[in-house]
Every structure is written in structure tokens, then in C-alpha cells.
Amino acid sequence: MNCREAQDVIPLQAAGAAVQEESARLEEHLQNCPHCRELMGDFTQIAAHLAVAANPTPVPGALREALNRRIDQSIAPVDFKNPPQNSRMGFIIALAASIALLIAMGMSLYIQHLQKSEIHGLHRLLAFSEQQNRKVIAHEATVVTQWERRVRRLQSRVRQADEIINMLKVPHLQMASLTGVGKQPSAFGRLFWDKHAKIWKFCAADLKPLQSDKTYELWWITPASKKIPAGTFNVDTTGFVMFTPTIPPGLKLSHAMTAAVTIEPAGGDLQPRGPVELIGKL
């Protein structure tokens, strides 16, 4: 028996009018369905108060007269096994009214039960809709954040391109090329400097991004093989970087020197210890 069938039998069960087979199936269903048990409890309370809620059945007139004669005259009671037809009709009408009242109150409770179920379903639907909306908003926020990062990278590239263009306009600009070696043969670098305008810029491309515990470090190498640190850097996701290297006081860049890039621990080192990735003569 399902809930729909059980809710049809519950009013009859509460009134004691359900057949034995339906009553047994209903009891089995009620053991596993808390909603129908609650509805059965409501109908049972209605049936218990039905005698108070329904209009009382009038006592047949012949019976009332017989009782009065017995009390007043102490005569033998009259046998009323077959009451008059009009008395039987009154009893049937009263019983029908009681059953009608029970059904009406039962229908009211059933409608309330359906309304509760519909309200519960609406709450669940609203909660699901709100959850989906939060997911959509979170996804849109992620997309916006990704685009903002791309815009910032493009703005940075535009600024770097402007700097390179401005450097190329300097009359005494000098440039040196660094080529990739070791595990990054396709990488390359460019070094721009003008001692008159005091401009020093280093650019590199196609370098592999490093983990957080590693960094790239640029070195000035003198003809006497002295290695002077010129600054550390990391590349973006495309392998590009542009930064201003360090020129120690008194050091003069010349074509007799060499520039190299190595991989060192995060923060850099005083002397190169890692593998050389870029190298070239000034």
C-alpha cells in the first residue's frame, strides 16, 4: 500500500469502518511511513471527539414513554426490539451526519497535509535554486578574475614594449644577445645599455617558469673570469621577463665582458652554482 491508498483508508480506519484486509495493509504501511502515522493520529483524535462534535440522536418517543411508565407505575418494560420506522430513520440520519462530519474534518486535515507537503517542496526548490545561483555567481567571478589577470599582463607587456621602443631611440644604445644553452636551447635574451643615458635593461624569452624555491640570476663575467651578480628574476607563464639589472659602482660594461643567466636557489647566490641557461658576449 502506498501513501495515496493509505490516505484513502485512514478516515475509515479511524471510524472503525475499514475492512479487515485494508486495515491490515494500512497497519503495515504505518509502521514505515511517519507522515501517514501523523495523519492517522489526527483522524483518531477526530473520531474520539466525534460524539461531542455531532448532534445527539433523539430518543424515540415510544421508548421514552415506556421508560416513564416503568418508573412511575413499576410495570414490566415493553420490548422494543423493532422500533417504529421513523425512529430508525432518525438514527440513520444521525449516523449519516456523523460520518459526513468525520469525512469533512478528515478532508480538511488531508488538505492541510497536502499544503504542508507543497510548502516543503517549494522550500526545497527555492534552496536548490539559490544554491545553483551561488554556483553561477562564483563561476562568473572566477572568469572575471581570470580576465582581469590577462588584462594586467597585457598592460604590463604594453608598458615594456613602450620602454623598448624608447630605448631604441637613444643615440648611443648598445645591445648584446644571449643564446640558450643546456636544457633550454630555444631561449634567448637581449641586453640594452647606454652609459650616457644611464639605461640598462635585460629581456629574455622562452625561459621555463621555475618552482618557488628556484630563481634565475644574471651575472657579469669580467675578462679575469670574475663573476658579479646583476640581479635575480622570474619569468611569467609565457617565459618572458624584462627587468633592470644591477651595475655595481665603478663597473664599466664593455665588449670584453660576458653576461650569463643561471638557475640558483630562491633569493639568489653570491656566486653561480647552478646550470647556465643563457650566455653571450657584450
Single-letter amino acid, residue 138? A
- Average pLDDT score over the chain: 79
Contact residues for 233 (Cβ-Cβ < 8 A; gap 6+):
202, 204, 215, 216, 217, 218, 241, 243
pLDDT confidence bin for 264, thresholds 50/70/90? very high
Tell which wins on pLDDT, 177 or 61.
177
What's the pLDDT band for 202 if we cut at 50, 70, 90?
A: very high
80 pLDDT above the threshold of 60: no
Band (pLDDT 50/70/90 cuts) for residue 239 is very high
| CA–CA dist 107, 176 (Å, integer) | 94
**Selected residue with higher pLDDT from 74 and 258:** 258
Percent with pLDDT over 70 in the chain: 73
Q: Which of 69-73, 108-112, 231-235, 272-276 has the lowest mean pLDDT?
A: 69-73
Element (H, E) at 10: helix 3-15
Helix%, strand%, coil% for the chain, nearest 5: 50, 20, 30
Q: What is the pLDDT of residue 87?
A: 47
Q: What whole-number distance in Å separates Cα of residue 192 and Cα of residue 6?
A: 89
What pLDDT was estimated at residue 67? Answer: 58
pLDDT band (50, 70, 90) for residue 42: confident
Highest mean pLDDT (candidates 96-105, 172-181, 255-264): 255-264
pLDDT at 248 over 70: yes
**Whole-angstrom Cα distance, residue 282 to residue 265?**
26
Beta bridge partners of 194: 199
- HSE at residue 158, side-chain half, CA atoms within 13 A, is 6
pLDDT of residue 79: 52
Measured distance CA(245)–CA(203) in Å, rounded: 10
pLDDT of residue 253: 82
Average pLDDT over residues 1-30: 81
Indicate whether 178 pLDDT > 80: yes
Q: What is the pLDDT of residues 136-146, one digit of tens each?
A: 888 888 888 88
Q: What pTM does this model have?
A: 0.47
Q: Residue 150 burial by CB count (10 A; 0-12/13-18/19+): exposed, middle or buried?
A: exposed
Q: Measuring CA to CA, which residue among 185, 248, 182 is closest to residue 219?
A: 248
Reported as a single tens digit per residue, the pLDDT across 8-22 is 778 777 777 677 888
pLDDT for the residue numbered 193: 85
When mean pLDDT is compared across 105-114, 185-194, 214-223, the lowest value belongs to 105-114
Residue 169 pLDDT class (50, 70, 90 cuts): confident
Domains of the chain with bracketed CATH: 3-138 (no CATH), 174-281 (2.60.40)
pLDDT of residue 252: 83
The three grid cell numbers given for residue 238, joined into one nine-digit string: 609565457
Cell output for 5:
491508498
Pick the residue with more confidence: 130 or 262?
262
Contact 261, 204 (CB under 8 A): yes
